[in-house]
Amino acid sequence: MSLRAAELRAAALALTGCFEDFPFGEDISVFKVRAPSSGGEQWTAKIFALGNLDATPLLISFKCDPELAPALRAANPGITAGYHLNKRHWNTVDTSAVDAVMVLEMMEDSYDLVVAGLPKKQQLALEWSAYVVKS
Protein backbone atom coordinates (compact mmCIF):
# COMPACT_ATOMS: atom_id res chain seq x y z
CA MET A 1 0.00 0.00 0.00
CA SER A 2 1.43 3.38 -0.92
CA LEU A 3 1.73 6.25 1.48
CA ARG A 4 -0.44 9.33 0.99
CA ALA A 5 0.90 12.86 1.41
CA ALA A 6 -1.26 13.57 4.47
CA GLU A 7 0.04 10.43 6.20
CA LEU A 8 3.63 11.32 5.41
CA ARG A 9 3.20 14.90 6.63
CA ALA A 10 1.49 13.75 9.85
CA ALA A 11 4.22 11.20 10.57
CA ALA A 12 6.97 13.78 10.00
CA LEU A 13 5.31 16.44 12.13
CA ALA A 14 4.83 13.92 14.94
CA LEU A 15 8.62 13.71 15.37
CA THR A 16 9.91 15.86 18.23
CA GLY A 17 11.14 19.26 17.11
CA CYS A 18 9.95 18.80 13.52
CA PHE A 19 8.32 21.52 11.48
CA GLU A 20 7.46 22.05 7.83
CA ASP A 21 9.09 24.88 5.89
CA PHE A 22 9.04 26.08 2.28
CA PRO A 23 12.47 27.64 1.57
CA PHE A 24 12.52 26.34 -2.04
CA GLY A 25 9.04 27.59 -2.98
CA GLU A 26 5.49 26.72 -2.03
CA ASP A 27 5.57 23.39 -3.91
CA ILE A 28 8.42 21.79 -1.95
CA SER A 29 7.71 20.72 1.62
CA VAL A 30 10.89 20.69 3.66
CA PHE A 31 10.80 18.91 7.00
CA LYS A 32 13.34 20.18 9.49
CA VAL A 33 14.22 19.44 13.08
CA ARG A 34 15.25 22.03 15.63
CA ALA A 35 15.54 21.71 19.37
CA PRO A 36 13.52 24.12 21.48
CA SER A 37 15.78 26.98 22.53
CA SER A 38 16.14 28.48 25.95
CA GLY A 39 17.87 31.54 27.31
CA GLY A 40 17.68 33.37 24.00
CA GLU A 41 19.69 30.72 22.13
CA GLN A 42 18.64 30.25 18.51
CA TRP A 43 19.59 26.91 16.96
CA THR A 44 19.72 26.22 13.26
CA ALA A 45 17.14 23.78 11.91
CA LYS A 46 18.43 20.78 9.95
CA ILE A 47 16.63 19.16 7.00
CA PHE A 48 15.78 15.45 7.16
CA ALA A 49 13.12 15.13 4.41
CA LEU A 50 11.85 17.09 1.43
CA GLY A 51 9.63 16.70 -1.59
CA ASN A 52 6.60 17.92 -3.52
CA LEU A 53 3.73 16.37 -1.59
CA ASP A 54 1.23 17.31 -4.32
CA ALA A 55 3.11 15.45 -7.08
CA THR A 56 2.07 12.12 -8.58
CA PRO A 57 3.86 9.90 -7.94
CA LEU A 58 4.77 11.21 -4.51
CA LEU A 59 8.57 11.40 -4.32
CA ILE A 60 10.26 12.21 -1.03
CA SER A 61 13.97 12.54 -0.32
CA PHE A 62 15.56 11.36 2.91
CA LYS A 63 19.03 11.69 4.35
CA CYS A 64 20.68 8.28 4.53
CA ASP A 65 23.83 6.70 5.91
CA PRO A 66 26.27 6.88 2.96
CA GLU A 67 27.20 3.22 3.38
CA LEU A 68 23.56 2.09 3.39
CA ALA A 69 22.25 4.35 0.60
CA PRO A 70 23.64 2.34 -2.37
CA ALA A 71 22.39 -0.94 -0.89
CA LEU A 72 18.85 0.44 -0.54
CA ARG A 73 18.96 1.62 -4.17
CA ALA A 74 20.21 -1.75 -5.39
CA ALA A 75 17.53 -3.64 -3.45
CA ASN A 76 14.58 -1.50 -4.50
CA PRO A 77 13.97 0.20 -7.88
CA GLY A 78 11.69 2.72 -6.14
CA ILE A 79 14.70 4.18 -4.33
CA THR A 80 17.12 6.31 -6.32
CA ALA A 81 19.99 8.69 -5.63
CA GLY A 82 18.81 11.99 -4.15
CA TYR A 83 17.27 14.23 -6.79
CA HIS A 84 19.19 17.54 -6.86
CA LEU A 85 20.88 16.51 -3.60
CA ASN A 86 24.20 15.01 -2.53
CA LYS A 87 23.91 11.52 -4.04
CA ARG A 88 26.12 10.02 -1.35
CA HIS A 89 23.95 11.17 1.55
CA TRP A 90 20.41 11.36 0.15
CA ASN A 91 17.93 8.94 -1.42
CA THR A 92 14.73 9.83 -3.23
CA VAL A 93 11.85 7.42 -2.63
CA ASP A 94 8.89 6.83 -4.95
CA THR A 95 6.17 6.18 -2.38
CA SER A 96 4.03 4.39 -4.98
CA ALA A 97 6.78 1.80 -5.48
CA VAL A 98 8.01 1.36 -1.90
CA ASP A 99 5.99 -0.12 0.95
CA ALA A 100 4.54 2.54 3.26
CA VAL A 101 6.11 0.94 6.35
CA MET A 102 9.55 1.10 4.72
CA VAL A 103 9.03 4.75 3.72
CA LEU A 104 8.15 5.67 7.31
CA GLU A 105 11.14 3.71 8.62
CA MET A 106 13.42 5.56 6.19
CA MET A 107 11.97 8.86 7.40
CA GLU A 108 12.62 7.95 11.03
CA ASP A 109 16.16 6.83 10.15
CA SER A 110 16.74 10.14 8.37
CA TYR A 111 15.48 12.07 11.40
CA ASP A 112 17.70 10.02 13.74
CA LEU A 113 20.73 10.51 11.49
CA VAL A 114 20.23 14.29 11.49
CA VAL A 115 19.57 14.50 15.24
CA ALA A 116 22.62 12.30 15.94
CA GLY A 117 24.70 15.01 14.26
CA LEU A 118 23.37 17.76 16.51
CA PRO A 119 25.28 18.85 19.63
CA LYS A 120 24.45 16.88 22.79
CA LYS A 121 22.71 19.91 24.31
CA GLN A 122 20.23 19.97 21.43
CA GLN A 123 19.76 16.20 21.55
CA LEU A 124 18.89 16.50 25.24
CA ALA A 125 16.48 19.38 24.52
CA LEU A 126 14.77 17.14 21.95
CA GLU A 127 14.68 14.34 24.56
CA TRP A 128 16.30 12.12 21.93
CA SER A 129 18.40 9.10 22.73
CA ALA A 130 20.16 6.86 20.27
CA TYR A 131 19.91 3.12 20.47
CA VAL A 132 22.69 2.53 17.99
CA VAL A 133 24.94 -0.48 18.39
CA LYS A 134 28.35 0.11 16.81
CA SER A 135 30.30 -2.96 15.81
Assign 112 a pLDDT band (cuts: 50, 70, 90).
Answer: very high
What is the tens place of the pLDDT at every residue in 21-32?
A: 999 999 999 999
Closest CA to 60 of 23, 124, 119, 107: 107
Q: How far is 20 from 31, CA to CA, in rounded Å? A: 5
Using DSSP's 3-state secondary structure scheme, residue 92 falls into: strand
Average pLDDT score over the chain? 89
pTM of the model: 0.89
Q: How far is 56 from 62, CA to CA, in rounded Å? A: 18
For residue 43, the model assigns a pLDDT of: 85
Torsion of CA 32, 112, 68, 99, to 10 degrees: -80
